C-alpha cells in the first residue's frame, strides 16, 4: 500500500511544527522572566531603630532615657530635699514612663517587615513606616519625663507647693544659664570664621538672648551648631546692622548652616 502525501498534509504538519516551536520559545522566555532576580533592600530592625532614635539602636536609646531620668531626679534633689521614699517614688514613676514608651515603640515596630524586602514593596512601605514612627520619634526627643508624664505628675503630688515652685525656679535659672552658654559658644564658632570685635561679640549675644526664648535642655542633644543657629535665624534683621557690608555675607552663610539640620 502506498501513502499519498498531499500538499495539504505537508502544510498541516509544517504548521504543527511551527506551533510547537513557538510554544517551546514562549516557555523559554517565560522561564527567563521567572529566573530574573528581583531587586531587594536589606532593611533590618536595627536600621529602623536608628531612624527613630537618631542613629541609636533601641537598647542604647533606652539606656539614654534611663540616664535622663537619673539626671532629672538628681536635678530635683539639688533644688529641694527629697526623702528616700520620695526619690524612690520618682524613679519608679520615671521607669514606668520608659517602659510604656518602649512598649508602644515595640508594638509599632512589629507592624513592619524587616530583612530582605523586594524593592517595590520597600518603596511602598518605608514612607508609611516613617509616618507611623514620627509621633514616637518626636516624643522621645522631647523627653519622656516632662509635663504630662507620670514622673512629672508624681513630682507635683509628693512635693509641697513651695518646694515645687523652688524646684521650678531653679530649673528655669539653669535653663537660662545653659542657653546663654550655648549662645556664647556659637558666637565663638562664628568668631573662628570671621574675627569679631569685643563689641560685636557682646552685641550679638545680647541680641539673641533678648529676642529669643530659651531652649529646653533636651534640645541640647544635637551638634552644637544645629542647636542655637535656628535662633540666630529668627533675629537676622536685628543682627545685620551689627556688621559691615563685607562682613554680613560671611555671617549669613554661617547662620544658614541651620538649614543643614537633620530630622
Please indicate, yes or no, if residue 165 is contained in any of the structural domains. Answer: no
DSSP structural state of residue 4: -
Q: Which residues contact 242 (CB under 8 A, 6 or more apart)?
A: 200, 203, 204, 207
Co-location of 178 and 244 in the same domain: yes
CB of 49 within 8 A of CB of 61?
yes
The structural domain count of the chain equals 3
151 and 56 co-located in one domain: yes
pLDDT value at 4 more than 90: no
Same domain, yes or no: 253 and 183: yes
Over residues 37-64, the pLDDT tens digits come to: 678 888 888 989 988 888 889 999 999 9
Q: Where are the alpha helices (DSSP H) in 80-160?
A: 84-109, 119-142, 150-158
**Separation between Cα atoms, residue 100 and residue 89, nearest integer Å:** 17
pTM above 0.75, yes or no: no
Domain that holds residue 18: 1-36
Q: In the predicted model, what is the mean pLDDT of residues 194-218?
A: 89
- Mean pLDDT, residues 227-253 taken together: 92
Q: Is the dihedral of CA 129, 134, 139, 140 positive or negative?
A: positive
Q: pLDDT, tens digit, for every residue of 132-152?
A: 888 888 888 888 988 889 999
Is residue 149 domain-shared with residue 237, that is, in the same domain? no
With a pLDDT cut of 90, the percent of the chain lying above it is 37
* Residues composing the chain: 263
User: Which phi and psi angles does 40 have, rounded to 5°?
Assistant: -125, 155
Amino acid at each position: 500500500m502506498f501513502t499519498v502525501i498531499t500538499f495539504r498534509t505537508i502544510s498541516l504538519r509544517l504548521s504543527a511544527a511551527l506551533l510547537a516551536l513557538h510554544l517551546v520559545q514562549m516557555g523559554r522566555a517565560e522561564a527567563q522572566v521567572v529566573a530574573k532576580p528581583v531587586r531587594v533592600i536589606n532593611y533590618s530592625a536595627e536600621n529602623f531603630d536608628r531612624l527613630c532614635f537618631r542613629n541609636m539602636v533601641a537598647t542604647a536609646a533606652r539606656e539614654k532615657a534611663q540616664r535622663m531620668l537619673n539626671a532629672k531626679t538628681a536635678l530635683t534633689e539639688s533644688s529641694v530635699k527629697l526623702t528616700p521614699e520620695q526619690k524612690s517614688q520618682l524613679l519608679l514613676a520615671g521607669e514606668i514612663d520608659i517602659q510604656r514608651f518602649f512598649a508602644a515603640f515595640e508594638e509599632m515596630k512589629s507592624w513592619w517587615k524587616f530583612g530582605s524586602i523586594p524593592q517595590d514593596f520597600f518603596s511602598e512601605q518605608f514612607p508609611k513606616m516613617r509616618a507611623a514612627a514620627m509621633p514616637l520619634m518626636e516624643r522621645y526627643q522631647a523627653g519622656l519625663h516632662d509635663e504630662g508624664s507620670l514622673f512629672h505628675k508624681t513630682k507635683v503630688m509628693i512635693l509641697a507647693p513651695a518646694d515645687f515652685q523652688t524646684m521650678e525656679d531653679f530649673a528655669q535659672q539653669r535653663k537660662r544659664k545653659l542657653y546663654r552658654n550655648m549662645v556664647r559658644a556659637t558666637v565663638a564658632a562664628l568668631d573662628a570664621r570671621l574675627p569679631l570685635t569685643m563689641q560685636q561679640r557682646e552685641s550679638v549675644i545680647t541680641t539673641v538672648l533678648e529676642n529669643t526664648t530659651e531652649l529646653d535642655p533636651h534640645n541640647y542633644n544635637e551638634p552644637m551648631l544645629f542647636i542655637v543657629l535656628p535662633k540666630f535665624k529668627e533675629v537676622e534683621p536685628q543682627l545685620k546692622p551689627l556688621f559691615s557690608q563685607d562682613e554680613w555675607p560671611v555671617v549669613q552663610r554661617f547662620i544658614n548652616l541651620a538649614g543643614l539640620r537633620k530630622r
